[in-house]
Amino acid sequence: MSMQEKLDQLNKLRQIVEAGGGQKRIDKQHESGKKTARERINELFDPGSFREIDVFAASEDDWIFNNKTPGEGVTCGYGTIAGRKVYIFAQDFTVVGGSLGRVHAAKICKTLDMAMKVGAPVIGICDSGGARIQEGVDALNGYGEIFYRNTIASGVIPQISVIMGPCAGGAVYSPALTDFIFMVSGTSQMFITGPLVIKATTGEDVSMEALGGAATHNQISGVAHFMANNEEECIAQIKALLSYLPSNNLEEPPTYAPVEPSVDKEILVDIVPTDPNKGYEVRDIINAVVDGGSFFEVHQYYATNGVVGFARINGQPVGIIANQPRILAGCLDINVSDKIARHIRFCDCFNLPIITFMDVPGFLPGVQQEYGGIIRHGAKMLYAYSEATVPKITIILRKAYGGAYLAMCANALRADMTFAWPTAEIAVMGPEGAVNVINRKELSEAENPIELRKKLVEDYRNRFANPYLASARGFIQDVIDPRDTREKIINALWNMSTKRETRPRKKHGNIPM
């Protein structure tokens, strides 16, 4: 066979692989509102930058003559997104339903290994019918090999999972082990057991979308972090997320030109209501402090009594954590504790300073919260903030009561710089509750307990519910004009940019799970 004949054969084989499951199956994929694996890759990566690996991988030695699974149902490789190196594996539903077999898993494992070796983020696009049943234990072992690598890579390189089709059974645990999960409304589903199995075992009747759709996992379970209306929007979200992250744990996040905030800082003077029982929109404060248009929220629809995300301040990426007074008065409950603790730990893994905006009246009271383990879940926040060694800057906006004050990164949990607005109230509990405890006897004997309680509450608020006692003890570095918040944070970030912290040597801690 001449060289030209060999080249013709190579081109023919490459065309077979790139054609996936063939035009009929590609058309069916498009009809269901989904793109093919290669179309998704081309939209994600800079034009012409993608380089495929293991192009001709196969589970059969005679695949050239009996080609049933071109590419083994997954396309793997690397390229650049906004000029930065990124690895990817994208399951191809047009080839045996994107099912995972031994070689399919081996391709994914090699992608993860290479990403770790070169220190680049990895994106996994899931669109699969599950394990390739005919391969039996080889398929199960393949999942296990992927899970192991997801775990070893955690905290070393950013790992992003994108659900763009079905993801069921054991397959869901690889995304669950990664840092972020993106889903698309209407075409993404994740569940351990499908509707038919649930119907047969428990009698519950539920649709695939209600059981494991994007809305379910973004709003109810908290399994997913982002929800998009379509695949194009999802890809734009992925690119936005990557712009805040370093390529690995040894690098600093990328910096950009500073941009003035999108909200006028003058709103900060009156944004906190004088009535302690009234809420306000904490995102307005965030947007008046961070670079304009840079706030990128994570877990937007889950545990909405807290707000977490990324932003840039003076061009520098940071992690944002805030109580949301509009929802449950900003109380900490089980779900928001998990949400915040998880975000703290991600930021600490990848060298993102943490900016905390505090307005918290306490942990949410209630029998269900106690039965659900609020003690255990709240402890995750204490652990995560205490363990984090990145710069930690806390702004106390209004309420800072009891254990929740500590849980939102008070000085004792090693906040590097703590600032308070003049509206800050730092105390063991709110004035009303404190008066009920301290002055119980006096109130029970009073001729006019309502008027007396009102006076005692006002006295307590004036004397204790202010930032100056904490400031006098060195727990707060400064009480500031709200309009100076951005400037103070910028200066604190500059000051803490050379921060170094040593901790006792140990294998690892034991976070309360």
Question: Is 172 in contact with 150 (CB distance < 8 Å)?
Answer: no
Which member of 170, 222, 315, 433 is catalytic?
Answer: 170
Which member of 37, 120, 404, 465 is catalytic?
Answer: 404
CA 318 to chain centre: 13
Residue 404 is among the residues annotated as catalytic for this protein: yes
Q: What is the CA radius of gyration of the chain?
A: 26
Q: How far apart are CA 513 and CA 510, in angstroms?
A: 8
**Phi, psi (degrees; rounded to nearest 5) at 388:** -65, 135
DSSP string, 84-147: EEEEEEEE-TTTGGG-B-HHHHHHHHHHHHHHHHHT--EEEEE----B-GGGTHHHHHHHHHHH
SS3 content of the chain, % helix, strand, coil (to 5): 45, 20, 35
DSSP state of 216: I
b/e map of 369-399 (b: 16 or more CB within 10 Å)? beeeebeebbbbbbbbbebbebbbbbbbbbb
Q: At what angle do helices 449-463 and 431-438 cross, to 10 degrees?
A: 120
Which member of 119, 155, 169, 433 is catalytic?
Answer: 169
**Tokens read off for 337:** 């504790």
Across-strand partners of 317? Answer: 312
Question: Is 413 in contact with 406 (CB distance < 8 Å)?
Answer: yes
b/e map of 177-208 (b: 16 or more CB within 10 Å)? bbbbbbbbbebbbbbeebbeebeeeeeeeeee
Residue 319 CB coordination number (10 Å): 25
**Tokens read off for 5:** 């004949």
Which member of 322, 403, 407, 410 is catalytic?
Answer: 403
Element at 419 (helix H, strand E): strand 417-420
Residue 403 is among the residues annotated as catalytic for this protein: yes
Residue 165 is among the residues annotated as catalytic for this protein: no
Residue 279 is among the residues annotated as catalytic for this protein: no
Question: Is 350 in contact with 310 (CB distance < 8 Å)?
Answer: no
Residue 512 CB coordination number (10 Å): 13
Q: Name the residue type at position 417.
A: M
Point out the residues that are catalytic: 169-170, 403-404
